[in-house]
A and B are shown apart, each in its own frame.
Chain A
C-alpha cells in the first residue's frame, strides 16, 4: 500500500481582501520506504501540504490518503501512525529534554523505552542535556529532540517540515544521515527543504513553487527537464562577468553559481567561446574560462521558475 497519495488537492485561504491559492491540483504518490522531498522556497505551499497530510487541515477539494486511510474520514487512525515535525520548533520550551519526550510518549499511550532502539542513536547525543529545558537548546539540538518526539510512537510514515532550515551545514549533513538510517528501518519519509543541495539525498523530489508542483523526478533524472545546453564560466571577477553576460543579447539567461556563472545561449548548437570570449576580452576580462556542464537541481528549478513566470 502506498504510504501517501495526493489526488487533485486544492487549497485556498482568504488573507485580508485577497484570496491566496495555496495549492493547485497537487498529485503525487510516495512509494513504501521512500525518502520523498518537497523542494521549494518559503510560501511555495509545502507547509499547507503537510498540514493536510497530517489531518490538521482539510483541503478545499481533492483527497489525500496515508497508508490507504482517508485524511478526511480516518483522521484518528492516521494520527496514530504518522510522526510529524512541524517547521516551527513545537516542543514545550519550559519542559526539559526528557520531560518533552515523556510527554509525547504519554500522548500516544506508550513509553520512551518501547521504541528506544529507533531513537537511541539520536537520543544518546541529547543524553548529556537531558535535564536542560528545551528552550535553552541550540538549533541543532532542538532539531534532534523534535525528531525523537516525532518517532516516540514508532510511526510508519514520517512528515518533516523544513527540519534543517537555519541549521549550519555540518548539523544539516548529520541530520540527513539520521534520515537515511530511519529510511533503512523501513519508515517512509516526506521531507521539505529550501536547500537545493539537500535534494540529492532524496529518492525522488517534487519541485514546488506558488502552490504548484513543477516537476517530480529522481535527483539524477531531473536534469532531463533542462532542454538547453548549459555552460559554466569562471573568472576572478564573477560579478563583472555576470553584468556583461546579462547585457549580451546572445545569452538566454545567466546566474551566479558559487564561484562560477552558469549560462545558456539563445539558439542551438553554438560555440560559446567563439561567441563570447572576444567581447569579454575587449571589456577587460581576459581570464574567462568556459566549459559545458550537466544541469543540477538548482539550475532546473530556476529554469522552471522562469518558465512559470513568463
Chain B
C-alpha cells in the first residue's frame, strides 16, 4: 500500500545479532499525522525495530527512511527531527519542571525567545503554572508523563515515538494522555506508539502486530477485528501472539 505522505517508509528492514534475527524483513509505511500502534509480545523485536527507526542502531539489511532521512547514513538528522519518550526514561528527576523544559528545548535547538514563549504556553496547557519550580521527582507519575510528552514534541518534530507511555498510570490520566496524542496527531505530528493496554490499540488509526521479528498483521483496528473474527484487539493479539515461537527466549 502506497501512502500519500509517508513519514516512515521501511522496506525489508532487518537486524541480526549473530545467528539471531531480531527483526526480520519488516516493510511498512506510516503517514503524516497518523497514530500508529506498534504492538508485539515481549521479545518480538519491537524495541530493536524502534531503535533502528530512531537512528540508534544500524540495520543489517533493508531500507528505511524517517522524515525523509536514511537510517544508515543520516542518523543524526533523524535524531534531531523526531521526538521520543518512554515510561522508563523521560525527564530529569532532580531538575524542576521549568528546568527540564529549558534543557530539552536547548538540546533540540529551539531558539531562546521562542522557548520562553513555549514554556509559558506549555505550563498553562498542562495546568502546571503553580509547579514550575517543583522538582520533577515530586510530581505524580501521570503529570510527569504528560509533561514528558509535551516536551518530546516541543521542537515540533515530524514524528514522536512513544514507548509504553501510559504504563502504571491511572485510568483517567491514561485517557487524558490519549486525548493529548489525538490532538498532537491532528497538528500533523505522527505518533508511533507501543502499549500493553489492548484497549489503547483501539485508539490508533492503524496497528501493526509483531511476532517473532516479523509484522504478522497491519491494518485498522476494526479491519483486524473483522479479519480475525474477534470482538476486541485483545483477542486479535492473543490469536497472533500465541503462535509465537520465541515469545520468551
Which residues of A are in contact with B by a Cβ distance under 8 Å? Answer: 15-16, 18, 40-44, 125, 129, 138-141, 162, 165-173, 194-197, 209, 236, 238-239, 242, 255-259, 298, 301-302, 305-306
Contact = CB atoms under 8 A, between A and B. Distances in A.
Contact of B170 (A40, A166, A255): A40
A274 B45 CA distance: 49
A301 B42 CA distance: 28
B169 A41 contact: yes
A138 B175 contact: no
Contacts of B87: 166
B143 to A, nearest CB: 10
**Residue of A43, A169, A239, A301 with most chain B CB atoms under a 10 A cut-off:** A169
Contact of A166 (B167, B221, B249): B167
A213 to B, nearest CB: 15
B171 A301 contact: yes
Given A171-B248, A258-B199, A306 B172 contact: yes
Interface of B: 40-44, 87, 135, 138, 140-142, 164, 167-173, 175, 178-179, 182, 196-199, 202-203, 221-222, 232-234, 237-238, 241-242, 244, 247-249
Contacts of B196: 166-169, 172
B175 A255 contact: yes
Nearest to A196: B171
**Residue of B42, B142, B222 with most chain A CB atoms under a 10 A cut-off:** B42
A168 B40 CA distance: 8
B135 A16 contact: yes
**Residue of A16, A167, A168, A194 with most chain B CB atoms under a 10 A cut-off:** A168
Given A171-B247, A255-B172, 20 more contacts: A18-B138, A41-B168, A41-B171, A42-B141, A43-B141, A129-B249, A138-B249, A139-B42, A166-B164, A166-B167, A167-B196, A168-B40, A169-B196, A170-B41, A170-B241, A172-B196, A173-B238, A194-B169, A259-B202, A306-B172
Contact of A194 (B168, B172, B221): B168
Nearest to B198: A169
A44 B221 CA distance: 32
Contacts of B179: 239, 242, 256
B232 A140 contact: no
A302 B241 contact: no
A14 B23 CA distance: 47
Contacts of A197: 234
A297 B34 CA distance: 31
A285 B135 CA distance: 44
Given A43-B140, A170-B238, A195 B164 contact: no
Contacts of B138: 15-16, 18
A65 to B, nearest CB: 29
B169 A42 contact: yes
Given A138-B248, A170-B41, A259 B171 contact: no
